[in-house]
Structure 1
Amino acid sequence: MSYEAWIILTGSLVGITCGITGCFLILRKMAMLADAISHTVLLGIVLAFLISQSINGVYMLIGATIVGLLTAFFVQLLHSSGVQSDAAIGVVFTALFAVGVILISMFAGNVHLDVNHALMGDITFIPWDTVTWNGINMGPKAVWMLGFVLSLNLLLITLFYKEFKISSFDPQMAAAIGIPVLLIHYLMMGMVSLTTVASFDSVGVILVVAMLIVPGATAYLLTDKLHVMLWLSALIGALSAVIGYFGAVAFNVSIAGAMAVTAGGIFALVFLFSPVHGLLSKCLAKRKVQSSGG
């Protein structure tokens, strides 16, 4: 594959993986928790480096997953203690992210870990960081990592589809029929953490947050069926990556930034023109009701 194709494939995998996982966050009204986890995993990555003295993907996945789960746990703990959910997210997110930034500046200044890299990623260098097996170049490491996490997420969603669906729409009913709601919640947070760190090194926090929230929110405006929402969010995530890449090349701007802007542009179009939930459709329906009533 060409250099350009590897970048587009990486961005598409980020869009698909984050888009599918983000659907459940949208349904659970926990979109901003994705923002929190996507920042706090920086602490997990730094701690994994300090312990292992390696930025190997496996150590990063483990460290970030643990910190992502801790983030969800602390938010849940504060919320159950009476703190408003948005305030709980703000407190945990800023505190853990700040600790990660401090540790980078103190102990990892000479390593390929810095705040700018964390925010924007290095997707242009993805094709050069490859996996070699028996002397054969198997392609970029990021593609393999994202492919593994996407496969794992799809497997978990397939195995626990009913549990994810019921606990997302009606957690009280899920608990009443014996579904372990808290376990499903932390399983979902583990998926978000894995997805975040797999995407983190490639595209940075900005695009991870955009892809975790925007494709799912866009799909939510287009359908009332969960399985259709999952497919649409994956399609929107991939389309945002492809269009964003060519837009970035055309205007010589940040690739990750252009992909995030494209996702926002698609959401804006759907928000205006969605057949059922679009702003234009609602205005026309309201005008029709008023005219018939008059």
Structure 2
Amino acid sequence: MDAFWIIFTGALVAICCSLLGCFLILRRMAMVGDAISHAVLPGIVLAFLFSGSREIWTMLIGAAALGVVCTFLIEFLHKKVNVQADASIGVTFTWLFALGIILISVYAGQVDLDQDCVLYGEIAYVPLDIWLTESGMNLGPRTVWIMGGVMLVILLFISLFYKELYLTSFDPAFAAAIGISTTLWYYLLMGAVSLTTVAAFESVGAILVVALMVGPPATAYLLTDNLKKMLVISAVLGIVSSAAGFYLALWLNGSVAGAISVVIGVQFTLAFVFSPTHGLISRRRTSSPGRTNLPKEDTTTIEPAL
């Protein structure tokens, strides 16, 4: 039964991260998840300093607040200061993470805030954190309920606002011309990323969150040029990596999060080599002697219908 809860939790996190990761990949902002996952550290410390409590909900509120601040800073540096998107991400998360380390060393050095847990997590401990009702009824792991709720929110968000997310990701100029606020949808998407990251890092750790937010979408991007198919494929790949990673860790007697990340890397490598359209082998065939190929930029197309 423990194996089921571990795999199920990994699958829930994988679905949430993979779906949002598709839009981050298309916006060339894949490492925003990494930035948010590291930037939440000062939020955790500040939450403890102001409340004096290490209750999980207090920590989550502090982390969520800093996640939102991180997205605002990234957008501010990119739009107002004219810093490149990747540079604004790097600058923001490094100094916020460093600020968190300083706050811990100065004000909370004798307190077990366990910042390593935030970064690495331990999904294998999920079955131990049981949610009990006042009557003593066992509802299962608390993380499953939290991530299940987050998944429903993410699915509802993408289903209801697919058109807006689609347009602002692929053609922000056209979206602005027809009256869709690209800034609003940027912040809504980043808010969803922050929600997922903060909800997941306690159980699976920030590193695995980043792996799931980048790996499956990047693999799906190599396998299809259709956004809807990309969303489905990335979610399926995330679920498969969660199950395969667990059994790989069981076989090796190693870290579950590390094994899942390894499986994600294997998936991407296979797609990179064998993808029928964008794979290394297919590209070499099209560029073989006797063929004339004009140099061109990214030719990825998306389905014409919204």
TM-score range, shorter chain: over 0.9
Deviation at 1:90, TM superposition (A): 1.6
Using the TM superposition, name which of 221-230 and 64-73 deviates more.
64-73
Give the Cα separation in 1 of the matches to 2:272 and 2:49: 45
1:7–1:126 CA contact under 8 A, matched in 2: yes
- Matched residue type, 1:285: T
Q: Which runs of 4+ in 1 moved over 6 A?
A: none
Deviation at 1:69, TM superposition (A): 1.7
1:40–1:68 CA contact under 8 A, matched in 2: yes
Deviation at 1:291, TM superposition (A): 3.0
Deviation at 1:98, TM superposition (A): 1.3
User: For 1:29-60, what per-residue CA distance to the aligned partner results, in whole angstroms no more than 9, with x for missing partners?
Assistant: 00122211111122223333333444445434
**Corresponding position of 1:4:** 3
2:29–2:85 CA contact under 8 A, matched in 1: no
**Corresponding position of 2:14:** 15
- Matched residue type, 1:280: I
**Corresponding position of 1:195:** 196
User: For 1:238-292, what per-residue CA distance to the aligned partner results, in whole angstroms no more than 9, with x for missing partners?
Assistant: 11111111111111111101101110110100111011011111111222xx335
Give the Cα separation in 2 of the matches to 1:233 and 1:14: 12
What's the Cα RMSD here? 1.7
Give the Cα separation in 1 of the matches to 2:274 and 2:87: 34
2:71–2:187 CA contact under 8 A, matched in 1: yes
Deviation at 1:110, TM superposition (A): 5.9
Give the Cα separation in 1 of the matches to 2:251 and 2:155: 34
Give the Cα separation in 2 of the matches to 1:224 and 1:54: 48
Deviation at 1:77, TM superposition (A): 1.3
Deviation at 1:112, TM superposition (A): 5.4
Give the Cα separation in 1 of the matches to 2:102 and 2:62: 17
Alignment length, in residue pairs? 290
**Corresponding position of 1:127:** 127
Does 2:184 correspond to 1:183?
Answer: yes
Deviation at 1:73, TM superposition (A): 1.1
1:7–1:123 CA contact under 8 A, matched in 2: yes
**Corresponding position of 1:93:** 93
- Matched residue type, 2:86: D
Does 2:253 correspond to 1:223?
Answer: no
Using the TM superposition, name which of 138-147 and 43-52 deviates more.
43-52
Alignment of 1:38-77 (within 5 A): 38-77=37-76
**Corresponding position of 2:82:** 82
Deviation at 1:87, TM superposition (A): 2.1
Give the Cα separation in 2 of the matches to 1:139 and 1:61: 20
1:36–1:89 CA contact under 8 A, matched in 2: yes
C-alpha change, 1:236 and 1:88, in structure 2 (3 Å) is same
Does 2:286 correspond to 1:285?
Answer: yes
Give the Cα separation in 2 of the matches to 1:93 and 1:163: 27
C-alpha change, 1:257 and 1:110, in structure 2 (3 Å) is farther
C-alpha change, 1:169 and 1:95, in structure 2 (3 Å) is same
**Corresponding position of 1:143:** 144
SS in 2 for 1:221: helix
Deviation at 1:114, TM superposition (A): 1.9
Give the Cα separation in 2 of the matches to 1:101 and 1:276: 45
Does 2:205 correspond to 1:204?
Answer: yes
Give the Cα separation in 2 of the matches to 1:232 and 1:55: 39
Deviation at 1:229, TM superposition (A): 0.9
Using the TM superposition, name which of 54-63 and 257-266 deviates more.
54-63
Give the Cα separation in 2 of the matches to 1:55 and 1:143: 21
Give the Cα separation in 2 of the matches to 1:190 and 1:155: 14
Give the Cα separation in 2 of the matches to 1:108 and 1:155: 39
Structure 1 unmatched ranges of 5 or more: none
**TM-score with structure 1 length normalisation?**
0.93
**Corresponding position of 1:104:** 104
**TM-score with structure 2 length normalisation?**
0.89
**Corresponding position of 2:173:** 172
Give the Cα separation in 1 of the matches to 2:269 and 2:22: 18
SS in 1 for 2:139: strand
